[in-house]
Chains A and B, each alone.
Chain A
Amino acid sequence: MTDLASYAPLAIILLMAITFAVANVVLTLLIGPRRRGKIKGMTYESGMNPIGTARKRFNVRFYLIAMVFLVFDVEIIFLYPWAATFPNLDPSSPDALVWLFRILFFLLTTVVAYLYGFRKGVFRFD
């Protein structure tokens, strides 16, 4: 059971987080003023009057852009740990070469993804 003692800070953090979240919602409900009206019930659009329904379809290009962003973003994130570890490798060890080829392979997939997206017309915004 003594093992669990080391988890105490974690438990306290969790408890604090939950308390804070619940308290915010509950306190707002309890002490906040309530004035319901037509204007108050409107969708919040940064102060503008909303036009039409919120359930509107986006142009499919938004999704394409989102996906392209995801691909490159994720791949760049993967480059960081590699770059951070690479200088620590002993250049004479065979592992170093493997590491290099590993990332080149990885970059190859990025290039293929780029070519694919390019051909597919993802980068054309007309």
Chain B
Amino acid sequence: MIERIAWLWPEIILFLATCVVMVLGVSPRLALRRQCAFVSGLALFLAAMVAIATGPMATSPWPQMVPFMKGTAGFVGLLTLLVLAGTVDREVDRDQELGRGFAALRANRAEFYAFFLFSMTGLMLCASADDLIWLFLALELTSLPTYVMVTISTRRSRSQEAGVKYFFLGALGAAIFLYGFSLLYMGTGSTDLGAISTQILAQAEGGAINDIAMAGLVLSLIGVSFKIAAVPMHFYTADVYQGAAASVSAMLAFVPKAAGFIAILLLVSTVGWQWGVADTAGVSLGAGHSLPEPVRLLLWVMAVFTMTVGNVLALLQRSIKRILAYSSIAHSGYMLVGVIAGPQGARFIDNGVAATLFYLLSYGLMNVGAFAVVASMEHKGEEADDLDALRGLCRTRPWLGWTMVICALSLLGFPFTLGFFAKVPLFTSGIAAGEYALVVILGINSAIAAFYYLRLAALPMLEEPVGEAPALTRVPARIVAGVLSAGAALGMVLVAGFFMERAARAAVPGLFDGTHASQSATDQIARSGERRADE
């Protein structure tokens, strides 16, 4: 127990900062309240640095992934925080500046930042989860605060509608994967991921994986697909992203998605990528390099539908936020390709998990920019969300315009941008795993995506501005975030090798070869065996 706490210092830092922010944010003094964002940022930065310095977590199925994902979460979170600044409480602050006093009940700043930090804590906890219950709690800690953040992000009824929709569908998703977790427990007799893995391998050697355990795994994956906005649980995405303020949508596009992918990697690692491709029963252990057939099939179908549905529906949209929402669905589909491919080798380029992790990092960095542009523009007091708002933006608002162009091209995966270097490993790892059909579908989908990303890139760059330029929200941090994100989309290319190596190291499994399994887990299996013998 105590040794585990040593891995959790980043989360503890974040939690303490949450406590501070929660009290700071309701202070009657404006100057103090304004420090909320600063405190959150400082905590995130510290947490990320501590996480990177802490090193691998021995009990996790992916020991090296823990620091990598926590670092990624911290730094993308910092970028997101720049966009989130100034989302709530602008009227409350103005009232106070005009001497009308501070209406504590109307102020949302404390909740907003505290919930943001809670969500980041949840994400980091997800990364260090080694137990189903821990994983469940971490996933919910990631999601629950976002429901509230969506609701309070604007004062429009649309945000409230989005929040409620998000909450109910989220609860449905949680119910499904919780049911899956319980079945997994029923089928293997343990909640410890290491013990589950050991048990599943034992079952496979004895004939076949327990059907109930397999059903549990499949249900869990379907439930978690809510977090990554994958088919069949993608329905909420567009409405919620559109209803929430663009800054919160920027966060929704990364934080729950990252948590979901970590959860998927953890869950899938219990069976591992060591099964024969054609072997439906999954008996011939070590014969191939694929997931057991039911899981592979599920993820395969999920990936194909997710990217296709996301891209095709994105074609039909006129709202920038909806386009980005559907594209975020599609990106989840791309990343699933890496999960299916699995860690085929220690080299970055044939390691699908490394590709997924690197894509997650890149997607997080470049996606913030696109949302930051939307968040920075205002039209008649509303967010300027229509595609028309982008027209001629490079001339009227050069910083925003070029940010949009670069981010859209990078999301498209255009050569010379980060997106390209993120997408190539997905292709190569898919090929390395022999998933040729999937790779071709991935290619076709990238081409479909070209259509709407091209629109996002061409409108600011080529069109003449219509009417007056969109007004800017008075939050310069958002423009800074956008420029940083665009800078990352171009500049990361130069140092991509460094991060790729980290990702490759992060994607080395410590568990599913069956040698791991902590002492407690082994005991637990023994105990459950005895219990069964008694019965």
Contacts and interface: CB of A to CB of B under 8 A. Distances in A.
Contacts of A94: 2
A86 interface: no
A116 B22 contact: yes
B447 interface: no
Given A94-B2, A119-B27, A112 B19 contact: yes
A87 to B, nearest CB: 20
A109 B22 CA distance: 11
Contacts of B26: 116, 119-120
Contacts of A14: none
Contacts of A108: 19
- Chain B: interface secondary structure? loop
A124 to B, nearest CB: 9
Contacts, number: 27
Nearest to B18: A112
Interface in B13-53: 19, 22-23, 26-28
A71 B104 CA distance: 20
B235 to A, nearest CB: 31
B292 to A, nearest CB: 32
- Chain A: interface secondary structure? helix
Contacts of A116: 22-23, 26, 110
Contact of A121 (B22, B105, B110): B105
A115 interface: yes
Contacts of A10: none
A109 B114 CA distance: 13
Contacts of A3: 535
Contacts of A112: 19, 22-23
A119 B19 contact: no
A108 B1 CA distance: 20
A112 B2 CA distance: 25
A120 B105 contact: yes
Nearest to A116: B22
A1 to B, nearest CB: 12
Given A109-B19, A119-B27, 4 more contacts: A115-B22, A116-B26, A116-B110, A120-B105
Interface of A: 3, 94, 98, 108-109, 112, 115-116, 119-121
